[in-house]
Amino acid sequence: MTEDTTLWPPESHAYKELSKLVDYGATLQWDLICEALGFGVEASLLPRSWEFNKAWFKLVDMFKRDGFMVTEAGMHQKGIRVLGREEMAGAVAKIQNREANNTLKRSATLSKVPRDGMEETEVKSLDHWEEKTAVLGLTQKHLIRRRTLPSPEMFVKSVNQIR
């Protein structure tokens, strides 16, 4: 492969180009990101196209795989900032809280589905997933609130005892 040859898909090429610049606390301008993804600078303007967003989210996932999280907050639509190491735990805590709340909302949604006129197997499936999402959400919330956690072995053992 020659130096001027780009990788396909575009996010792989962008990852190769931008990973040299990504470090905790670093900032990247949208025009640089758009160029690396193979889109024109106008792609940095909102609203962004579906094609751009698809490549962008895949690129973000590649950075997450390497231990980096990015945000547009505070960048005034000029680019992104890679979270600092000291910000990572707080960011993940917010995400986990949001996911736990969403899981509980899904359980509440299922509880409101009318069961009359449904086949028994369909009702059982709805009831099962309503209960399962409630248990998952409440377990997430409980674990998030705890300062110390049980060892993973003990947690798996207690979950395995539920039959």
pTM, entire model = 0.78
Taking Cα atoms as reference points, which of 99, 102, 82 lies closest to residue 144? 99
- What does the DSSP 8-state code read for residue 72? -
Q: Report d(CA 49, CA 59) in Å as an integer.
A: 15
| 23 Cβ contact list (under 8 Å, min separation 6) | 82
Q: Where are the domains of the chain?
A: 10-83, 88-155
The per-residue pLDDT for range 17-47, each reduced to its tens digit, is 999 999 999 999 999 999 999 887 776 666 7
End-to-end CA distance of the chain: 56
Q: How many residues does the chain have?
A: 163
The per-residue pLDDT for range 37-78, each reduced to its tens digit, is 988 777 666 677 888 899 999 999 999 999 999 999 999 989
CA dihedral over 7, 12, 14, 19, signed as positive or negative: negative
- Report the percent of the chain where pLDDT is more than 90: 71
